[in-house]
Amino acid sequence: MMNRIVLSLFLAAVAAVPALARANDTQWEVIHIYALADGRSVALAVPAEWQELDRTSVLGARSKLRFVDESGAQVEIPAVSLARASANKAVLWSEDTRKLALRAHKRS
């Protein structure tokens, strides 16, 4: 009986190790709400380390969102790209945000 309890506790500890190993990689996100030129609104989640350069809540058709990422590099997301991406999703999470920024960087 005691062996089963010890074995169960040991297996539970071994199963918890991978989860504990990733515990320090917690990523926090900050959600910004923007109104687009066509009247729709979109929520954009960005990594908490990113600093917003322009504090605006209304985006014109040709405007860009500008951030500085954790490495100090400037990240730009055109409102057109944001409007296209938000057609399918109400909230764009940080993976989406990074993809939009990368696509915009490749185009310029």
Q: Exposure of 70 by Cβ count < 10 A (0-12 exposed, 13-18 middle, 19+ buried)?
A: exposed
- CB-side neighbour CA atoms (13 Å) of 50: 26
Q: Where are the domains of the chain?
A: 27-107
The tens digit of pLDDT for each residue in 42-61 reads 888 888 889 999 888 898 98
pTM of the model: 0.65
Residue 67 is predicted with a pLDDT of: 93
- Below-70 pLDDT ranges, the chain: 1-27, 108
